[in-house]
């Protein structure tokens, strides 16, 4: 079976390509390399022995996208990762985010419809929940006003898909990620933020390896055990495996609705200081960090109710926080030695 992975040279995309290939799927990747590089495909083939087919173009180009689908009518499913995802950048450049994330999705949907591609897995996000009133947050928790244009593009995307499915035979599973961290055990693929990392874990490992002088911890005056915000950190490989399961759920006809939504988290909330402590334990490094003022747009605490995904998908995140931070550190050391 042939699966299109958009954004397949990116962080979660590349790890999903590996899991798909190892389950016997043929994979074709589309990526515009705006936030990743093509060498990732060579590293994927070092892990799996297969270099995925690859086309480099921008999915906001409608004709190019429709032409791709007409040339690849044997595609069974699409896993759509390609999107901009930096929360802070989206506040500074909202139109760039709405145009890129929404137009590329609509072109994908149009291409699927024209060529009768039946299944879509959509990369969504826990940011659709904003700051939940109740925790843990479940798939039926209220969707709140997004904290950022990025989060809003995910909310609007889910609505676009819902309306589109009313008019087509496409089936979709939307996966709402919590905080993906860590790297493949081979240390051949991992998170490769271009420039200064927005996210916590790459900033930690880059500080420890000496690329950054000090980690700033954005606020310790939250209503949490140690005052720092709580997130549900999940290993990127656990996350990738869920995407293969989602495709299989639809190809086996086990999906129960045209659009199904699942939270992908561990169900455990951890504070920023707990992540730092885990990193220091597994790496043996003392991390240089300082507490500063809060970052605008941060929610105080969010973690997933994973019972629905556990029960319906038969999937459960397996890796511990220490395994996640150790894999991130091994990856950082591997790229430093390249």
For 123, the token pair is: 């990369």
**Least distance in Å: CB of 217 to ligand WQD?**
4
Residue 102, CA atoms < 13 Å, CB-side half-sphere? 17
25 is catalytic: no
Phi, psi of 6 (to 5 degrees): -85, 140
Q: How far is the CB of 107 from ligand WQD (least distance, A)?
A: 21
Which two three-digit tokens encode residue 56?
């480099």
CB 218 within 8 A of CB 294: yes
Tokens of 220: 């310790």
Residue 21 or 283: the one with the smaller Cβ distance to ligand WQD is: 283
- Least distance CB 209 / ligand WQD (angstroms): 15
Give the nearest distance from C-beta 130 to ligand WQD in angstroms.
12
Residue with Cβ nearer ligand WQD (1 or 91): 91
Q: Catalytic pick from 97, 150, 222, 233?
A: 150
Nearer to ligand WQD, 50 or 143 (CB): 143
Residue identified by tokens 């954004």 is: 7
Q: What is the DSSP letter of 71?
A: H
Residues in Cβ contact with 147 at an 8 Å cutoff, skipping those fewer than 6 apart: 87, 127, 130, 131, 297, 299
**Inter-helix orientation angle 149-165/104-114, to 10°:** 20
Cβ at position 167, least distance to ligand WQD in Å = 27
- Residue nearer to ligand WQD on the CB measure, 117 or 215: 215
Of 69 and 233, the one with the shorter C-beta distance to ligand WQD is 233
Q: Which two tokens stand for residue 197?
A: 């990392």
Site residues (vs ligand WQD, CB under 6 A)? 85, 87, 125-127, 177, 179, 198-200, 203, 215-218, 229, 231, 272, 295, 298
Which ranges in the chain belong to alpha helices (H)? Answer: 11-22, 39-48, 62-71, 87-92, 94-98, 104-114, 149-165, 200-209, 236-251, 272-283, 307-313, 321-336
CB-nearer residue toward ligand WQD: 21 or 123:
123
| Residue 239 in tokens | 């996350």
State how far the Cα of 274 lies from the Cα of 118, in Å rounded to an integer.
Answer: 43
Shortest Å, Cβ 291 to ligand WQD: 9
Residues involved in catalysis: 150
């Amino acid at each position: 079976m042939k699966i299109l992975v958009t954004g397949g040279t990116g962080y979660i995309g590349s790890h999903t390509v590996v899991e798909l290939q190892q389950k016997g799927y043929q994979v074709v990747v589309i990526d515009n390399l705006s936030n990743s590089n093509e060498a990732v495909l060579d590293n994927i083939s070092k892990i799996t022995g297969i270099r995925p087919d690859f086309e480099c173009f921008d999915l906001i180009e409608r004709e190019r996208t429709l032409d791709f689908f007409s040339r690849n009518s044997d595609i069974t499913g699409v896993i759509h990762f390609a999107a901009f995802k930096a929360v802070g950048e989206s506040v500074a450049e909202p139109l760039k985010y709405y145009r890129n994330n929404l137009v590329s999705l609509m072109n994908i949907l149009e291409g699927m419809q024209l060529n009768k591609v039946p299944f879509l897995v959509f990369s969504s996000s826990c940011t659709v929940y904003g700051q939940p009133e109740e925790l843990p947050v479940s798939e039926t928790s209220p969707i709140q006003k997004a904290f950022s244009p990025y989060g809003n593009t995910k909310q609007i995307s889910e609505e676009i898909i819902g309306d589109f499915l009313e008019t087509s035979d496409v089936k979709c599973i939307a996966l709402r990620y919590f905080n993906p961290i860590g790297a493949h055990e081979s240390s051949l693929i991992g998170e490769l933020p271009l420039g200064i990392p927005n996210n916590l874990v790459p900033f930690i490992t880059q500080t420890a390896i000496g690329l950054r002088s000090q980690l700033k911890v954005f606020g310790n005056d939250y209503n949490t055990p140690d005052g720092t915000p709580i997130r549900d950190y999940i290993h990127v490989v656990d996350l990738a495996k869920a995407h293969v399961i989602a495709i299989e759920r639809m190809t086996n006809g086990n999906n129960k609705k045209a659009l199904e939504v699942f939270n992908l988290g561990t169900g455990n909330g951890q504070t920023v200081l707990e992540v730092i402590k885990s990193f220091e334990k597994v790496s043996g490094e003392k991390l240089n960090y300082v507490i500063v003022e809060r970052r605008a747009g941060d929610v105080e605490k969010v973690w997933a109710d994973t019972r629905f995904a556990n029960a319906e998908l038969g999937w459960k995140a397996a890796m511990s926080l220490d395994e996640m931070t150790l894999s991130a550190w091994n990856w950082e050391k591997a790229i430093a030695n390249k």
